[in-house]
Amino acid sequence: MITEFVMPKLAMAMNEGTVNEWLAQEGDYVEKGMPVAVVETEKVSYDIESPHAGYLHILVPEGATVDVEAPIAQFASDEESYHGVGGSPVSDSYGIRPEGSPTAVVPPPVARTEGNRIKASPLARKMAADRGLELHSISGTGPGGRIVKRDILSAEPQERPVGSTDVTPAVPEVLDPVRIPFKGVRATIAKRMMESLDTTAQLSTFWEVELDTLLALRQSFVERQEQLQTRVSVNAFLVKAIAHAATQVPIANAEIEGDEILIHRAVNIGIATALPGATEYDSSLVVPVLKNVQSMGLVQIDKAMKSLIERARSNELGPDELSGSTITLSSTASIAPQGMRATPLLNLPNTTVVGPSTPLRKPVARGDEIVLRTMLPISMTFDHRVMDGEPASRFGKVLSDVIEQPGLMLA
């Protein structure tokens, strides 16, 4: 008996997915519910569990992008069926099948080798070679103890053996460029950025907000971090401020759906989060969503936001946590040089994105005096089809007022 394994639909907006890595090999016998593949969507990667038990016949190679519900593999219930689809069974990845019972599996202790060969996926082998890691020193967490991508990413850097000699290679006369695949998450991000620019009327505004009062208030929270069980971040204040401004100027918390503008009552803030890539040349971006922020307190926001970001960087978020945003925060404060401004692109279907940058100390005029203040540069991009200049300016003014007088957001 042959059963098809199709590309699963992991989110409402998902139309296609990329098979980033097969966690089981061709011909392996897998149990129902065991992780069998890593699938990349436009937002994040997911470990996909096998919906059936049987011998795995792979139809789609690693790196291939296919439509949702398209077949990516088949499961054969027995060896005869597997041979019928052109496969050739190899040793069972999860255990020894008792003779005469091809579907019964006895889980053995985790084993990382097959004969003299260390069990590792092709992607894991390439990543280990690129990073100079020895596979024998890495613990595998894939099926049957197989080393997979996540094991390479979490592996500690290898130290050189005592007495080893560094050999400096000669500098070649011609340095060839580094080539990295323009596919998967990187290509999807590019596609979405172009879609954002092509389908909306984006306008960006820039201004500065005095931050000293907020920083002083934040310090009072920091001094109580043991009691609060969190070190409240500046970003938590900014998220709270955005939610406050969105409730005061609701058109900033809207989207276009067909021939209607939907003005959301719930303020669901997407937190743009950079993720490290597999190499020094690539990276990724996800936008986990903090929902119903208008009803949350500052400490609650801080804890929930940190949890979302931590799990995003560990690839542990579910589809529901990556969808449903109504407005976006895209902060570059931790990495941008002081005073840098940017024009953040809209995160569709949101029609407003707020992009604070790195604060800087500078002299500013206050009445007839010049005083030294901490100023926060803010960029805001909005869809001019939905929001005109007047409400956009009003949203910016409310946001500035509540940042400069943070007690307003706590009232």
- pLDDT tens, position by position, for the chain (411 residues)? 888 899 888 776 677 888 888 888 888 888 988 888 888 876 677 788 888 888 989 998 988 888 888 999 998 888 878 877 765 544 333 333 333 333 333 333 343 555 556 777 767 777 888 788 888 888 887 766 778 777 888 886 655 555 555 555 655 667 788 887 787 777 888 888 999 999 999 999 999 999 999 999 999 999 999 999 999 999 999 999 999 999 999 999 999 999 999 999 999 999 999 887 656 676 778 999 999 999 999 999 999 999 999 998 888 888 889 999 999 999 988 788 887 888 999 999 999 999 999 999 999 999 999 999 999 999 999 999 999 999 999 999 999 999 999 988 876
State both tokens at 104: 């019964």
- Measured over the CA atoms of residue 246, residue 251, residue 252 and residue 255, the dihedral's sign is positive
Domains 2-154 and 201-410 share a fold: no
User: What residues have CB less than 8 Å from 310, skipping those under 6 apart?
Assistant: none
CB-based contact 77:1 (threshold 8 Å): yes
Can you give the residue ranges of every domain in the chain? 2-154, 201-410
> CATH number for the 201-410 domain, one of 3.40.50.460, 3.30.1330.60, 3.30.559.10, 3.30.70.20?
3.30.559.10
- Best CA proximity match to 282, nearest among 156, 196, 157, 178: 178
Fold of 2-154: OB fold (Dihydrolipoamide Acetyltransferase, E2P) (2.40.50)
* Region at 18 (left for phi over 0; alpha for psi -120 to 50; beta for the rest): beta
Query: Which pTM does this prediction carry?
Result: 0.66
CA 123/CA 150 separation, integer angstroms: 10
User: How many Cα atoms within 13 Å fall on the side-chain side of residue 15?
Assistant: 2
Q: Which helix (H) or strand (E) holds 221?
A: helix 212-222
